[in-house]
Amino acid sequence: MEARAAIDDAALEREAWSVLDANRTGPATVPAPGLYPHQWSWDSTFVALGLARRDTRKAGGELLSLLAGQWSTGMVPHIVFHPAHTEAYFPGPSVWRSGEHPAAPRRVPTSGLTQPPMHALALWQVWRHAADRDEAAALVRRLYPMLVAQHDYLAGARDLGGGGLAAIVHPWESGMDDSPAWDDPLAALPGIRYAYRSEEMPERHPDGHQDRYVWLALRYRDSGYEAAYLRQEHPFAVEDPMFNGIWLASCEALAELAPVAGADPGPHLEAAERIRAALLERLWTGGVFHARDLRGGRLIPVCTIGCFGPMLDPRLPGDRVAELVSVLESARFMGAAGYPVPSCEIRAPQFDRSRYWRGPSWVNTNWLLRQAAVLHGRVELARQLGAATLRLVRQSGFRECFDPFDGSGRGGRDFSWSAALTLDLLA
Ligand code: 9WN
């Protein structure tokens, strides 16, 4: 295990800035040099959140650059490709072929999938913390209609279950790609023999899921990225509590931002209420929220970090918050991890301390849970989550994720959201 000498707050802050500076290409920040050389959607929202207290212009630039990739359907793509490195990541623009789709932007190549709608939540933080109120108000006015279009897209094109929640149509859309929550829906896909020769497939997912990921993306692309195809045929459709919890929190954020943009907050509060009711009705069981597999017609049993997403709802009833917190603090998650919060419940057979979303702790999900704890007045929980996250980056640097037992780093180095959210935690 690698461990660094103790580092004080000022030095940690300087290191975080130098990672973010090195990862900037123009107005956009890439998640990690080499590994992810483009702009990723939820990564950029975490970068904007980290920049929010210190540099409104850069935070706004990050969001604007990402939203330059928004489709006319309102869909915000999960990757906006950097023109200089188009094929440096697989699957690149030649796979997605966004340029051939009438709804995609003409000059900005993008993927055809989306990611958790953190954007309004990020803009709300930028607005709250901005020193220059006029500059921040101008930014809100510019971004507000784009975010309304994003939310309308989710409500209109992604309510595949008809119950008021948005469905993800690919594991990449969850941001938690190889989470064990998607194992069963992926296993149920028809026999897949795909297209791309093995040497074209980076060995990022040694379990063979990469074949299924690419197959699913190509099925959707070949439908013409059609909403009707998603409703009627697409074989992967899951209501994820993290995605929907974030969406709900972003609806609340849009309600806060609406008056700044001269708009009525009412519709956003109504949307939040609809999502809240649907989450409780469709995903709540056994004291937590579980993802619902719409094609398999059942709740997915494994409990992951995603099960706590609806805690981001400021109006989640107190008894539900209490039940969620007791699972979170138990030996299933924080209680048995030296470096919380593991991305999968420790006692699950699928738990793997070293593989991405199958066990390691992540700075962004820790930050989201800390945010939720603050919202619900759980002061001690918020303190613990903040301290544990800073301990991880102090010990192992701004890694992509961390072993939940010994805190050693995993995945990419100099990872942007780990650096950016550290800035927020230090503020
Ligand atoms: C696919 C960029 C992204 C994050 C995701 C993370 C990982 C990509 C991959 O990297 O996903 O989108 O290649 O595995 O799981 O959360 O947005 O950092």
What CATH number did the domain enclosing 84 receive? 1.50.10.10
In the predicted model, is pLDDT for residue 158 greater than 80? yes
Amino acid at 75: M
In the predicted model, is pLDDT for residue 215 greater than 60? yes
- Domain limits at 203? 9-426
Ligand 1 centroid to 103 CA: how many Å?
24
Ligand 1 centroid to 189 CA: how many Å?
22
CB atoms within 10 A of CB 260: 18
The verdict on residue 303 lying in a domain is yes
Integer angstrom CA distances of residue 409 from 10, 18, 37, 217, 397: 21, 19, 20, 30, 7
Query: What tokens appear for 140 in the block?
Result: 């809100």
> What backbone torsions phi and psi does residue 50 show, to the nearest 5 degrees?
-70, -35
Cα–Cα distance measured from residue 374 to residue 396, given in angstroms and rounded to the nearest whole number: 26
Q: What is the pLDDT of residues 326-339, one digit of tens each?
A: 999 999 999 999 99
Q: Which atom of ligand 1 is nearest to the CA of 202?
A: 13
The verdict on residue 4 lying in a domain is no
Q: Is residue 327 within 8 Å of 304, Cβ to Cβ?
A: no
Tell me whether 0.95 is exceeded by the ipTM: yes
Q: Whose CA is nearest to atom 12 of ligand 1?
A: 172
The verdict on residue 366 lying in a domain is yes
Residue of 90, 115, 168, 172 to test ligand 1 pocket, by largest number of atoms within 8 Å of CB = 172
Q: Which atom of ligand 1 is nearest to the CA of 32?
A: 18
- Rg of the chain on CA atoms, in Å: 20
> Residues lining ligand 1, judged by CB closer than 6 Å?
31, 36, 40, 42-43, 78, 172, 175, 177, 204
Q: Which atom of ligand 1 is nearest to the CA of 205?
A: 14
Ligand 1 centroid to 112 CA: how many Å?
15
Model pLDDT, residue 170: 98
Ligand 1 centroid to 114 CA: how many Å?
12
Give Cβ neighbours of residue 221 (< 8 Å, ≥ 6 apart): 95, 96, 97, 112
The verdict on residue 2 lying in a domain is no
Residue of 35, 38, 40, 111 to test ligand 1 pocket, by largest number of atoms within 8 Å of CB = 40
Q: Which atom of ligand 1 is nearest to the CA of 364?
A: 16
The verdict on residue 3 lying in a domain is no
In the predicted model, is pLDDT for residue 91 greater than 50? yes
Q: What is the pLDDT of residues 48-71, one digit of tens each?
A: 999 999 999 999 999 999 999 999
Burial of residue 7, with CB atoms counted within 10 A of its CB: 0-12 exposed, 13-18 middle, 19 or more buried: middle
Q: Taking the C-alpha atoms of 227, 95, 209 and 246 in order, what is their torsion angle to the nearest 10 degrees?
A: -50
In the predicted model, is pLDDT for residue 424 greater than 60? yes
Q: Domain count for the chain, please give it.
A: 1
In the predicted model, is pLDDT for residue 93 greater than 80? yes
The verdict on residue 1 lying in a domain is no
Model pLDDT, residue 310: 98
